[in-house]
Amino acid sequence: MDLRRAYENEAQNFKYDRSIERNTALIAVHNDEIIGTLEYDFIGLEAAEVTHFKVLNDSKKIMNGLIKEFNYWHPFIKRLYFNELIESHIKPQNNIIHFKDACLLYKVDIADIVPEQLTVSKAKFDRVDKWIESSEDVVVGTVEIDDKIVCVDGYSRLVSAYLKGLESVYIYKDIVEDKSLYEVCLSWCKAEGIYTIEDLSKRIVSAEEHQRVWIDRCQENLNG
Whether 52 and 159 share a structural domain: no
Give the pLDDT score at 75: 96
Last residue of a domain, one of 82, 98, 114: 98
Whether residues 111 and 218 fall in one domain = yes
Q: Is the pLDDT of residue 92 over 80?
A: no
Both 120 and 171 in a single domain?
A: yes
Report the percentage of the chain scoring pLDDT > 70. Answer: 93
Range of the domain at 144: 106-222
Q: What is the pLDDT averaged over residues 112-129?
A: 96
Domain with residue 71: its CATH number is 3.40.630.30
State residue 108's pLDDT score: 98
Q: Which residue has the higher pLDDT, 224 or 15?
A: 15
- pLDDT classification of 122: cutoffs 50, 70, 90: very high
Co-location of 32 and 136 in the same domain: no
Integer Cα distance of 160 and 60 in angstroms: 38
Q: pLDDT confidence of 198, banded at 50, 70, 90?
A: very high
Is the pLDDT score of 89 beyond 90?
no
Structurally, how many domains does the chain consist of?
2
Q: 178, 97 in Cβ contact below 8 A?
A: no
The 3 state secondary structure assigned to 38-75 is EEEEEECCCEEEEEEEEECCCHHHHHHHHHHHHHHHCC
Q: Which CATH number does the domain housing residue 140 bear?
A: 3.90.1530
The arithmetic mean of pLDDT across residues 153-180, rounded, is 94
